[in-house]
Amino acid sequence: MIAVIDYDTGNLCSVSNALGRLGATYEITADPARIRAAERVLLPGVGEASSAMHKLQERGLVEVIRSLTQPVLGICIGVQLMCRRSEEGEAQCMGIFDHEVRKFTLPNLKVPHMGWNSIQQLRSPLFEGIREGDYVYYVHSYAPTVGADTIAQTEYGVPFSAALCKDNFFGTQFHPEKSASVGECILRNFLKM
């Protein structure tokens, strides 16, 4: 069973639909016991980092997530919350990935970065069957910096981490559930881990 963490940050329908298309068994839950018992965990989300972090703290889920040993995948705001801190609302986040989340501030860049963009420098089983330069779907104004945990990059004025991995924790700044066949392949790879 896959636990999809519910902390009132949206995106649950599109993630549920994607898991349903893959034939996966999942449960949307905020129950720590159900999350700990799951074979895999998804932390999706859209919204503002400091508010989303506050909701995780209110539900007592920060330490639950940090303690997980099964594969965990953060999506969009989910991966940002797994970083050390975010400039958005000056949020102190979970610190699973030793990365900062920064706002796009270059002149002539449309923010939010919205639409399809390519991923490069792929280095993880998460990307098995994915080619360098394949396209994924983004909607974001902030992104994790590039660093030791980066397993894929995208360029939008500057390079940023399209995906991160440390131990059993994975995260994608893009939305695999909205990224057509490429995203479906990435989700399928995660479900096999």
Q: Residues with catalytic annotation? A: 76, 175, 177
Phi, psi torsion values for 15, nearest 5 degrees: -65, -45
3-state secondary structure 76-129: CHHHHHCCCEECHHHEECCCCCCCEEEECCCCCCCCCEEEEEECECCCCHHHCC
- Measured over the CA atoms of residue 180, residue 181, residue 185 and residue 191, the dihedral's sign is positive
Paired tokens of 89 = 């609302």
Q: How far is CA 120 from the centre of its chain?
A: 17
